[in-house]
Chains A and B, each alone.
Chain A
Amino acid sequence: TQLLEQSPQFLSIQEGENLTVYCNSSSVFSSLQWYRQEPGEGPVLLVTVVTGGEVKKLKRLTFQFGDARKDSSLHITAAQPGDTGLYLCAGEDYKLSFGAGTTVTVRA
């Protein structure tokens, strides 16, 4: 049983467009983390959210954590080709439980 569901599975957009990736959990974790992974590399931590309702911004990336601490979203404004990659959410409880990921392709 997958604890974290990510949607969509694939997303292809034109440079300059906005995109949103969703992560929904069946459980409440101590924290929820977002990672980005590129081919041949390991996941790289983007952000950790802990508090329900929390919003964090990282340049053009905005992360939201739902009030019930079960759902989260990643919004990218004015996407660039360099944003292309696999975006993963993971719930943390002394170890990480990953979602299956969303593959984002930004076309120039």
Chain B
Amino acid sequence: EAGVTQFPSHSVIEKGQTVTLRCDPISGHDNLYWYRRVMGKEIKFLLHFVKESKQDESGMPNNRFLAERTGGTYSTLKVQPAELEDSGVYFCASSQTYYGYTFGSGTRLTVV
């Protein structure tokens, strides 16, 4: 089966610009997660979708981040306006149960 697909793989934007990251989960996986690793820190949870509903968005840093999941399929994470501290690697993961997470390769975001 196809894995979790994320794009772009890399994005370099200027402070104040907008960036949209996309994640295509494994087909049939109801659970979709966004995580982020900033330089020198551990991977941290951002939010969790069950189908198209936000189950938990307690990890979202602030209201510059907006996540959506259209029709319970792919998800987008928009950062607007981007700040320097938003730089990092953004991972998407999907699962059918809580025991089997599959991660994408991540999007490396650099804000300059």
Contact = CB atoms under 8 A, between A and B. Distances in A.
**A and B: interacting chains:** yes
Contact of A98 (B42, B55, B99): B42
Interface residues of A, number: 24
B102 A95 contact: no
B42 A42 contact: no
Interface in B30-89: 33, 35, 41-45, 48, 55-56, 59
A45 B44 CA distance: 16
B96 interface: no
B103 A44 contact: yes
Interface residues of B, number: 23
Given A40-B105, A44-B103, A99 B98 contact: no
B100 to A, nearest CB: 7
Given A42-B105, A92-B98, A98-B35, 16 more contacts: A30-B98, A31-B98, A33-B99, A35-B103, A41-B105, A42-B93, A43-B43, A48-B99, A48-B100, A92-B99, A95-B45, A95-B56, A95-B59, A98-B43, A98-B44, A100-B42
Interface of A: 2, 4, 30-31, 33, 35, 40-45, 48, 88, 90, 92, 94-101
Interface of B: 4, 33, 35, 41-45, 48, 55-56, 59, 91, 93, 98-106
